[in-house]
Amino acid sequence: MPTTSPIFSGTITQSTVATVNKVVPATADWVSIVLSVTAISGTDAAAAFRIVWSLDGGTWAEAGDAFDPITAPCTVVKRFPVKAPYWRAVCDLSGTDPSFTGSANCYS
């Protein structure tokens, strides 16, 4: 049975990096992220969600694990192969006064 872990829930109004480092279960080969955006406001608002990886929980690296930019309410599921023992979520917002409401959960 997969392990479920919340990433965020609520409203994001600025670019952010998750403050909690997630540990990949030792038996996991993948992590799946369910991203649900229920409301967006702002002019030309877009959110770029991605996962970054770490071997030690302190030094982070990009691995190309990203969602397509989100510009409208939607629910998206994406599965990423495990690349390191630690991961965290990053969200970069663009546009004028962007605001995104929703949630993201991880399954591994």
Q: Residue 69 corresponds to which tokens in the numbers above?
A: 């930019």
pLDDT at 4: 76
Euclidean distance between CA atoms 90 and 44, whole angstroms:
20
Instruction: Provide the β-strand partners of residue 48.
Output: 92
Interval 2-28: pLDDT, tens: 667 888 899 999 888 876 678 888 888
Spell out, as residue ranges, where the chain has pLDDT lower than 70. 1-3, 19-20
Q: Where are the domains of the chain?
A: 4-107
pLDDT at 2: 65
Q: Residue 32 corresponds to which tokens in the numbers above?
A: 């799946």
pLDDT at 43: 96
CATH for the stretch 4-107: 2.60.120.1110
